[in-house]
Structure 1
Amino acid sequence: MDESELPRVLQQMWGIEGRSRPGPKPAFHISDIGRAAIKLADAGGLAAVSMSKVAAELGFTTMSLYRYVDAKDDLYVVMLEHVFSEPPELDPKKPWRDRITTWAEAFHQGLRQHPWILQIPIAEPPLSPNQLTWMESGLQAFAGTPLTPQDRLSAMLLVNIYVRGTAQLTATMATDPDAVAETDRLYTQRLTMLATPDRFPGIAATLEQPPDEGYAGDFDSTEFAFGLGTVLDGIQSLINRRS
């Protein structure tokens, strides 16, 4: 593949010198654009991000941004590249399950801190440096297992999809601990009133369990850990078959 086939925004991220555009020398780095856009999204959601607002945040004209990004989709690529820090360091001495759990929890935390990420449409697989670093880290979590390279990719994607799914469920929920506790209490109270044993026996049975065994109402901790553990149990079954 010729380097010129890469979109201009990716050429800049990878430090590849593409064909220069006429005009003055660039006044800032593309990472500055990403951080300015992230700041706007963190404050007002993805809807608060526009080319004009990002330019204003940087103190430049909207037209100046087009020396770096060709369209808003490119702006999203830059935001996704810089919104995550580097993936967590995975201890090669620990079991694969501990490594992928560390990876998944870090990914989940990033989505919880910046829930607008989930609103960005995924047009193609990741190609920017930091996103590929995260992908490689997720694949390396399965190092030492009998999984094939394709197995490892599929397993990593399965964990990725699970993390994104649970983050999507909780993206609009309150983040204040007291508010979350009150929401959980009120929901459980209303659910108990509505889910009668004669009509919803499965739900009612869950509500009748002791507090430490029944509905926890906490997707960010109990439910996330339970679901992730179940996903990893399935991957363990695949590892057992490959062995």
Structure 2
Amino acid sequence: MDETDLPRVLQQLWGIEGPARPGPKPAFHLSDIGRAAIKLADAGGLAAVSMSKVAGELGFTTMSLYRYVDAKDDLYVVMLDYAFGDPPKPDPEQGWRERITAWAEAFRDGLREHPWILQIPVTEPPLSPHQLAWMESGLNAFDGTPLTPQDRLSAMILVNIYVRGTVQLTSNMLSSGDEARAADRLYNQRLRMLATPDRFPTIAAGVDQPDSVQELDVDFDADGFRDGLDTVLDGIQARITRKG
């Protein structure tokens, strides 16, 4: 495979010179397109992003964007690459658990800052510069362990799935304000009514007293996220122990 087999958007992100397109000299950089699209998505969600709106944000015609991206999927590739930026660098003084925890928390923070990322379908493994840098950082977190390269990849993907799933699941629960608190109280009232001790005793035990989800010790800003992550890491530790 040579560089010309790469999609044009990846050639540009990697700084590879593909075949020149006819027309005037480019008036802006791919990073400008990425920042404009991210601004729209941060304000109005992924549905707010279109080729015409991005072009309008830049002050150019829609057709001018096609000198950079061939389709909306290419635009998503650019958005993802610039939204995450550089990954955290593993600290060699820390153990693997601390390193992958820092990686997971940085990944979580990126998703919370740009929640529209979770709306972009994952149709193929990452190939853009920043996404591969994040992959490399996550794999390097397991330096010093007996995990094979494939073991590291499986472990990193497991942590990735946990982070994505947790952020997706709790995105609405983490909202604030009177409306959110009222919704929490209503949910718990309904849960008490439906999850009776005779039918769902374990659920009922957890909602017997608190008046809101926040009072159930489910703080996904800190303890809840870390507790779940520790459970995932305990499983990885078990594999490390077997390998050792």
- Provide TM-score, normalisation by structure 2: 0.92
Identify the residue that residue 88 of structure 2 maps to in structure 1: 88
Identify the residue that residue 127 of structure 1 maps to in structure 2: 127
Identify the residue that residue 60 of structure 1 maps to in structure 2: 60
Deviation at 1:186, TM superposition (A): 4.2
**How high is the sequence identity, in percent, across the aligned residues?**
74
Identify the residue that residue 21 of structure 1 maps to in structure 2: 21
Identify the residue that residue 145 of structure 2 maps to in structure 1: 145
CA distance in structure 1 between the partners assigned to 2:181 and 2:222 by the alignment = 13
CA distance in structure 1 between the partners assigned to 2:234 and 2:116 by the alignment = 30
CA distance in structure 1 between the partners assigned to 2:118 and 2:66 by the alignment = 25
Residues 180 and 238 (structure 1), Cα distance of their counterparts in 2 relative to 1, 3 Å cut? farther
2:234 counterpart SS class: helix
Asked if structure 2 preserves the Cα contact closer than 8 Å seen for 1:184 and 1:217, the reply is no
Cα offsets for 1:62-93 (capped at 9, x unmatched): 00000000000000000000001311232111
Please, what is the CA RMSD of the aligned residues? 2.0
Deviation at 1:112, TM superposition (A): 1.1
Residues 175 and 58 (structure 1), Cα distance of their counterparts in 2 relative to 1, 3 Å cut? same
Report the number of matched residues: 241
The aligned amino acid for 2:23 is: G
2:214 matched to 1:227?
no
The aligned amino acid for 1:27 is: A
Identify the residue that residue 101 of structure 1 maps to in structure 2: 101
Cα offsets for 1:211-239 (capped at 9, x unmatched): 9xx83243443332221111000000000
The aligned amino acid for 1:112 is: R
2:31 matched to 1:31?
yes
- Provide TM-score, normalisation by structure 1: 0.92
Structure 2, unaligned stretches of length 5 or more?
A: none
Farther-moved stretch of structure 1 (120-129 vs 174-183): 174-183
CA distance in structure 2 between the partners assigned to 1:210 and 1:173 by the alignment = 16
CA distance in structure 2 between the partners assigned to 1:179 and 1:145 by the alignment = 47
CA distance in structure 1 between the partners assigned to 2:91 and 2:207 by the alignment = 40
